Amino acid sequence: MNQRFVALFVLLFVAVAVVAAPVNIGDSSLPARAVTKKTTVAKKTAVKKPVAQKPVTTKPAAKPETKPATKTATKPVTKPATKPVAAPVTACPIPKKTVVRRFLEYVGFSRTTPVATCPTISTPSVPSPSSPVPSPSSSGTSKADKKAAKAAKFASKSASVAAASASAAAARRPIGAVANAPTKAVRCNNKDGATTDIPLAAIQTAVSLAQAGPLVSGNNAVKFPHIFNNDEPVAVAAACVGKVLEEQAVGPDMSDFQNIPSVLGNFNQFRVVITTPDASGATTFCGVMTHGTNQFGEFDKNLCAEI
């Protein structure tokens, strides 16, 4: 380190001597200039003594002890910790080193790594890896919203079905006494040209369903019970002639009966006929008939025979 300072001082002294030499010559001739140059060269040896002593005793004692101690302690703490954190896209460029700066770094007057300086111009912001990713709900409907809408639609549909069921339950009629009540099973002609037996229990169940209702309105009602106009006419029981009649689908097994079109297709051949119940639910049983013997829906004018 002492040698560096000596070399620096010598170079600076030579530079000063070279610059000052033309000033001392004046307007003398060419041989005089050569003499002055020799004298300046001789000064190099004479001035070396104070140059070698003063920088060595004062400046090198302070600078090598303080600066290397602080820089070696700060470099690994600050720069390695900050460089990985900084995003490479927005990092500031490091300035190029000039000849003077390289010389000063060599002597020890400057840091070996220049500090990066950022321009004051604004740069577009780049999201960091730790920044939260925008949720898809900001650009459109999220899955949660779709599920909520679907659940609300299902709940509305369920509420409508429940309201319809409650309305139908409120419209149900009381089940009262049955005049001319069935006492036997019956045998009916079916659409295939054969016969089908309907047990007494199935007939009684169909009568109860017809009494309870509710009565389905409309000329071409597909649910039961509904009005039986008896346009054929079918030879119903004498006690039912001249009265308003209702019909209810019936089959050999009423355990899986449901008042919906997909199930009623299995019960569409045969019907129980009753009179419209009064306020107490009392009615008259008019018989069991075959609704149609073929695809054209022809009726058997005679009721199914008891067996």
Written as tens digits, the pLDDT of the chain (307 aa) is 566 777 777 777 777 666 555 544 444 444 444 444 444 444 554 445 555 455 545 555 555 555 554 444 455 555 555 555 555 555 566 667 787 777 777 777 666 655 555 655 555 555 555 655 555 555 556 788 888 888 888 887 777 766 666 666 667 899 999 999 999 999 999 888 899 999 999 999 999 999 999 999 876 678 899 999 888 788 999 999 999 999 999 999 999 999 988 898 888 889 999 999 999 999 999 999 998 765 555 678 899 999 9
- Give the model's pLDDT for residue 100: 77
Answer yes or no: do 302 and 182 share one domain: yes
Q: Looking at the domain assignment, is residue 81 inside a domain?
A: yes
**214 prior amide bond cis, ω within 30:** yes
Alpha-carbon distance 48 to 66, whole Å? Answer: 27
Q: Looking at the domain assignment, is residue 271 inside a domain?
A: yes
Domain end residue (candidates: 73, 91, 109): 91
Answer yes or no: do 189 and 298 share one domain: yes
Domain end residue (candidates: 38, 63, 91): 91
Whats the size of the chain, residue-wise?
307
Q: Looking at the domain assignment, is residue 164 inside a domain?
A: no
- Give the model's pLDDT for residue 76: 52
Q: Looking at the domain assignment, is residue 43 inside a domain?
A: yes
Q: Which residue type, as a one-letter code, is found at position 4?
A: R
Alpha-carbon distance 141 to 17, whole Å? Answer: 83
Number of domains in the chain: 2
Answer yes or no: do 194 and 290 share one domain: yes
CA distances from 152 to 146, 147, 164, 256 (A): 10, 8, 18, 32
Answer yes or no: do 296 and 184 share one domain: yes
Q: Looking at the domain assignment, is residue 55 inside a domain?
A: yes
Q: Looking at the domain assignment, is residue 248 inside a domain?
A: yes
Domain of 234: which CATH number? 3.10.450.30
CA angle 21, 25, 27 (to 5 degrees): 140
- In sequence order, what are the beta bridge partners of 285? 274
**What is the token pair recorded at 285?**
């049983």
- Give the model's pLDDT for residue 198: 97
Among residues 299, 157, 168, the alpha carbon closest in space to that of 232 is found at 299
Alpha-carbon distance 273 to 250, whole Å? Answer: 10
Alpha-carbon distance 164 to 162, whole Å? Answer: 5
Answer yes or no: do 184 and 281 share one domain: yes
Structural domain of 197: 178-306
Which residues, 6 or more positions from 11, have their beta carbon under 8 angstroms from its beta carbon?
none
Q: Looking at the domain assignment, is residue 153 inside a domain?
A: no
Q: Looking at the domain assignment, is residue 275 inside a domain?
A: yes
Domain end residue (candidates: 91, 119, 150): 91
- Give the model's pLDDT for residue 192: 84
Alpha-carbon distance 100 to 254, whole Å? Answer: 109
- Give the model's pLDDT for residue 202: 97
